[in-house]
């Protein structure tokens, strides 16, 4: 099962969100843990299945003057 979300950095924390959950943490290790918990809690249909969370970087979080040079930061995928 694939779950889509966005990821960005607000200057202090990494923030991952979609229509069902929103989590934030200062490190990627912590955010991955919180994403796993949030998926288990908010997405019952994912229980017992192999889940892939696709996090597309929200490029609106990059200043506009930089987007003309590179519109893409990174996308992450975690599986559990």
d(CA 54, CA 56) in angstroms, rounded, equals 6
Q: Which residues bind other proteins (CB under 8 A)?
A: 2, 4-6, 8-9, 11, 17-19, 28-29, 32, 54, 56-58, 60-63, 65-80
Question: CB 43 → other proteins: shortest distance, Å?
Answer: 14
Minimum Å gap between C-beta 15 and other proteins is 9
- Residue 66 CB, shortest distance to other proteins, in Å, is 5
40, 46 contact by CB (below 8 A): yes
State the Cα–Cα distance between residues 13 and 80, nearest whole angstrom: 23
- The angle at the Cα of 30, spanning 41 to 4, to the nearest 5 degrees, equals 55
CB of 46 or CB of 61, closer to other proteins: 61
């Amino acid at each position: 099962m694939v779950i889509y979300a966005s990821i960005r950095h607000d200057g202090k924390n990494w923030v991952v969100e979609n229509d069902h959950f929103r989590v934030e943490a200062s490190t990627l290790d912590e955010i991955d843990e919180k994403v796993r918990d949030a998926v288990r809690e908010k997405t019952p249909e994912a229980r017992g299945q192999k889940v892939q969370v696709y996090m597309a970087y929200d490029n609106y979080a990059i200043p506009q003057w930089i987007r003309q040079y590179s519109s893409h930061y990174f996308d992450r995928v975690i599986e559990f």
